[in-house]
Amino acid sequence: MMRLSAFGVGLAVVLVLGGTARTRAQDEPTKIVGVWEVTKAGDLPLGSTIEFAKDGKFTVKVKGEKDEVGTGTYAVAKTKLTVKLKFGDASFEQSAEIKKLTATELHLLGDDNKTEEFKRK
């Protein structure tokens, strides 16, 4: 009887933890949704913002003498963020490693080894 109970508890733990891991993996892409402001500059000037929408689209507003706006699409796979961005007639595709993603902070390491830090706005 004791073996059956221990087996049942073990099976329940595996099922619960396995289910939690799948849920976290499925939720990762939704954590990035929202408006983020640059707090540590890499390529983007301080005060620039990126808004990631639920539908996989984003808008970037670059602060400068003349503010510029770009739009595009993004995808998150584990810790990799890939973006396809369009500024006027120019198009870019870039990727970055998500080093930190919390409810209030986003840290990205670009292919060029530049780090950008954002706070949720």
Alpha-carbon 60 to chain mean position: 14
Cα–Cα distance, 86 to 59 (Å, whole number): 10
What Cα–Cα distance (Å) separates residue 23 from each residue in 26, 69, 103, 118? 5, 34, 17, 25
Per-residue DSSP letter, 107: E
What are the extents of the domains in the chain?
Answer: 1-30, 32-120
pLDDT (tens digit per residue) in 54-71:
999 999 999 998 999 999
Average pLDDT, the chain: 82
Q: What is the mean pLDDT of residues 26-54?
A: 90
pLDDT (tens digit per residue) in 76-108:
999 999 999 998 899 999 999 999 999 999 999
pLDDT (tens digit per residue) in 5-30:
443 433 333 333 333 344 444 556 78
Residue with tokens 């198009």: 91
This prediction has a pTM of 0.76
Regarding the domain delimited by 32-120, which CATH topology (the fold level of the hierarchy) does it fall under? Lipocalin (2.40.128)
